[in-house]
Structure 1
């Protein structure tokens, strides 16, 4: 955490003059035996919006069998996606601390096969964590993250079932058109400052034209071809605890993005969130899988 906090302080100094937003992972307790993390604001940095429509859409068990929850020291930390029998795709800002601190991998668990964080599901152990070697801010004057992608390698192969399945990666040269309907899911909060959800939720999003997205994110950095912008159809977007989770095609066949950042102008801002574009990193993903298979 120390390294990331130093990084965040630098961002905060910039934010005072330019109103940047930057995700910081922290923990706080809720009822029961669960402690959940949050992407929380260090003023004036604001969190991104929660994954809930006007009425939360909770997932049925097995509805999103590729979705996993990542726990650290027994506490929920981020989301992730099963992309092979031994590999989980997530965000680099979720794994940054572990790598910097030399985190004992025995303290990191991946929970698959459940839509409710109640102790059910399959516990998967971690063998290796690889994040993109050039992960970070675009520049000292930018709040936008680049190369926000990481892969967790499991100690053993998963057994697929009705509630545990691998999702397809996009094909080479995959293009996703403006206004394409996509879906995001996660265990994040349902209101700013509130506790994350024990139940998996989902929300439909619409892919936003890059030029419109760039206008929304102006003065915060450059939206690039390595990003996907997706706008909440029902005003709400991704939030605290959803980081690293999947953005998928509406038919849930293919992952296209990884939850990365949001502007965070309130829960109902309707502004587009930023996702890591999976198709841009196919070579990197395949190389990491080859190295750890």
Structure 2
């Protein structure tokens, strides 16, 4: 179900309602499809982001939708809970530059989805899921991304640069781009992001990015990675954006991975 909650601001000069509303990235309104896009990004050369996977979900009624995810271990993919929440199965595309031309694929049923037990679909808190997969060998086109260490738990990352990646539309009203795209974005402080979305959405377990010049994640980029330029560590999972659209200039929100290191360790055994 689409989330469209208007946040009320008493301050003079508050953003228009359409910008202050929040939607899961896959449900943003510019397209009736929930296929993905990176807006105003650039094509990823082969092997640039070997950790990103395409996730083609199927619902119980046979309909489908697209999300992204990150390889974090030989048998684990990390994604958003709003991606797994309505899926009955998923086909995972590994090492794909063109969306459906993967090095190989794996099919996984819902029994291998491990969704965070406290996921809240109303405010997208704890928007994180794990998918257990068959064993995957690593090489230059298919490889894991490193998680942050426990030492990073209290780093705000304010002002740090990162890269997001995904497939699909490259502008609000364009057609699908089947080629993998990246966009370089700057992480902003949560206090500034709360001025747009409010504290109900922006918690200590959230990261936000600036969308300068319309550079952002959108639609089925949901669940995809936000990886630091410095150290190549996975710090965010694409979660939500402004109801005003991907190129509105409002921030975009990510699940903060450092907030879930204990949970990831308990489920997967992966820790740094």
* TM range, smaller chain: 0.7 to 0.9
Contact persistence 1:204–1:232 (CA under 8 A): no
Render the CA deviation track for 1:139-181: whole Å, top value 9, x for unaligned: xxxx631000000000x21011110001110000411431111
Q: Where does structure 2 lack aligned partners over 5 or more consecutive residues?
A: 9-16
Question: Which residue of the partner structure matches residue 232 of structure 2?
Answer: 253
Q: Distance in 2 between matches of 1:241 and 1:277?
A: 18
Q: Which residue of 2 aligns with 1:52?
A: 39
Change (3 A) 1:196 1:92: farther
Decide whether the 8 Å contact of 1:204 with 1:233 is kept in 2.
no
- Residue 112 of structure 1 corresponds to 94
Asked if residue 87 in structure 1 is aligned to residue 76 in structure 2, the reply is: yes
For structure 1, which segment, 78-87 or 122-131, has the greater mean C-alpha deviation from structure 2 after superposition? 122-131
Q: String of CA shifts for 1:39-60, please: whole Å, max 9, x gaps.
A: 2439xxxx9x95232xx41011
Partner of 1:34 in structure 2?
none
Distance 1:133 1:40, change over 3 A: same
Q: Do structure 1's residue 196 and structure 2's residue 176 form an aligned pair? A: yes
Specify the alignment match of 2:12 in structure 1: none
1:124-273 correspondence runs (5 A): 124-126=106-108, 128-137=112-121, 144-154=123-133, 156-174=134-152, 175-218=155-198, 221-251=200-230, 253-273=232-252
Seen in structure 2, the aligned counterparts of structure 1 residues 222 and 68 have a Cα distance that, compared at 3 Å, is closer
8 Å CA contact retained: 2:164, 2:184 = yes
TM-score normalised according to structure 2 size: 0.82
Mean CA deviation greater in 176-185 or 58-67: 176-185
Q: Higher RCO, 1 or 2 (CA under 8 Å, sep at least 6)?
A: 2
Aligned twin of 2:14: none
1:16 CA drift (Å): 10
Cα distance in 2 for partners of 1:233, 1:40 equals 18
- SS of residue paired to 1:97: coil
Task: Give the superposition deviation at 1:124.
Answer: 1.9
Contact 1:81 1:89 (C-alpha < 8 Å) held by counterparts: yes
SS of alignment partner, residue 213 of structure 2: coil
Q: How many residues are treated as equivalent by the alignment?
A: 249
Partner SS, residue 177 of structure 1: coil
Alignment gaps of 5+ in structure 1: 25-37, 138-142
Shift of 1:222: 4.0
CA distance in 2, matches of 1:79, 1:89: 9
